[in-house]
Amino acid sequence: MIRYALKCREAHSFDSWFRSAGAFDSLRAAGQLSCPECGASEVEKAPMAPRVATGADEAEHPLARLRREIETKADYVGTRFASEARAIHEGDAPNRPIWGEARPAEARALIEDGIPAAPLPFVPKSKAN
């Protein structure tokens, strides 16, 4: 996929995604592009500045940083999360950061019992596509 900055004959600016540069050219030649503001079908690519990262940390998405932090500093306990969190809370397991999976009812029970737990905005890499 490629994103182009576009402009119409009326100088309205907008962005659009295309499968490839050739797809843009084909759609333009067929008159199938139009300005979302005025409907003009005379659409051209507008000059674009490339997005250049100034450093590895700035280029990395905050979610990726969060994932890396959790994966390196916490133990993944899989589907045993609820029982392991409860054991840590009750002093039956070593106190350490953990992450894993819990059914909604298990997570609710942890919170109701005052055991700290929070959902994460990602799944384990082994379960991701």
The reported pLDDT for the residue numbered 51 is 62
Q: How far apart are CA 6 and CA 44, in angstroms?
A: 6
Q: How many domains does the chain have?
A: 2
Q: Rg of the chain's alpha carbons, rounded to an integer?
A: 25
Let me know whether 60 and 123 are in one domain. yes
| Residue 117 to residues 2, 34, 65, 113, 127, Cα–Cα distance (Å) | 40, 49, 20, 11, 21
- Indicate whether 50 belongs to any domain: no
- pTM beyond 0.75: no
Q: How far apart are CA 14 and CA 38, in angstroms?
A: 11
Let me know whether 68 and 114 are in one domain. yes
Let me know whether 80 and 41 are in one domain. no
- Indicate whether 51 belongs to any domain: no
Question: Which residue segment(s) compose the domain that 63 sits in?
Answer: 56-127
Let me know whether 82 and 112 are in one domain. yes
Q: pLDDT digit string (tens) for 69-100? A: 999 999 999 999 999 999 999 999 999 999 99
- Indicate whether 71 belongs to any domain: yes
Q: pLDDT digit string (tens) for 3-61? A: 889 999 999 998 898 888 898 999 999 988 998 889 898 999 987 766 665 555 554 58
